[in-house]
Amino acid sequence: MNSSPLLRRPRRLRRTPAIRALVEETRVGPADLIAPLFVREGGGDPEPVGSMPGIVRWPLDRLITEARELASLGIPGVALFPVTDPALKDPRGSAALDPEGLVPRTVRALKAAVPELLVFTDLALDPFTSHGHDGILTADGSDVDNDPTVAVLAQMAVLHASAGADFVAPSDMMDGRVRAVRTALDAAGFHGTGILAYAAKFASAYYGPFRDAVGSASAAGTRSLDKRTYQLNPANRREAVDDALLDEAEGADLLMVKPAGPYLDVLSELRRATRLPLAAYQVSGEYAQLQAAARLGWLDLAKTRDESLLAIKRAGADVILTYFAREVAEAHRGRP
């Protein structure tokens, strides 16, 4: 039987590995990734995070070693998340402003030991508050009080910049916080410190393992904190893009969508709406579900990991925060 007279045969471009590589549109490599790291006080061995296989809470000395190795693998930066001693937590998150607190000490140590590694610090109060919310509560305790919280975040930003942070990352979703942070940084002379804004952060059910890791869940007595008065409604795409563009107008240098995988439509729409670099955070729940399915033998971990990251990059992310960063970098070792 004669072949059909087809002028276009798309399979010609899929015929061999070399051809497929030649026409590949999207690639994810170590240079695209930021590694989130949990840091705790004290020494000894790293503490495993039970709900996040392979992820640990690092003591500072061991975190420095890990950071050196990440840099040697081609990962350009790390995002720090502190595990605060419960004895230091209070309703206002006062420990967040301690100049000798865990975050400033960690930033100083990292920039001294691995100066080429970019350091991103989180601007939010949930690791420091006894109630587990991202800010100071109103007098009746029913909600987070926006403006007093923003004032503290601006002070945190200056503290982190003083320690050497390359980027501060407001993750709280308070109104006006990017403008306040930019104003405070500039007033203190930190014109070069960047802002990675959690511009479209949703009130997601995917954050549970992270809250276990930093202890905000235990502080509040639940991993299901209701943050819907400040984090975005998962049903609202237009609102998310509008919020993100407000952060751009207020002086953000990079915009981030969080979580990544369930919100690829938002990421794609935001990519069309802005020329700023975009980041996306593949969050703890996304990581944990792939790990769990792979451990049950239901999925190939490496293949689904790589496919999930490709989807995020294809949707428009320039930078991906992922707990798979080290694994991906190791898999790319030796590649051109």
Known catalytic residues are 201, 258
Helices (H), 164-300: 177-187, 208-214, 216-220, 237-249, 264-273, 284-295
Beta bridge pairs of residue 320: 33, 280
Would you say 227 and 220 are in contact if contact means Cβ atoms under 8 Å apart? Answer: no
Q: State the Cα torsion 66-47-80-149 to the nearest 10°.
A: -170
φ, ψ (nearest 5 deg) of residue 257: -105, 135
E strand intervals along the chain: 33-40, 47-48, 56-59, 77-83, 118-123, 167-170, 194-201, 254-258, 278-282, 319-322
DSSP state of 18: H
Q: β-strand 56-59 against 47-48: which pairing, if any?
A: antiparallel
Measured CA to CA, the distance from residue 110 to residue 133 in angstroms comes to 28
Strand, helix or coil at 71? helix
Cα→Cα distances 192→35, 171, 249, Å:
22, 20, 18
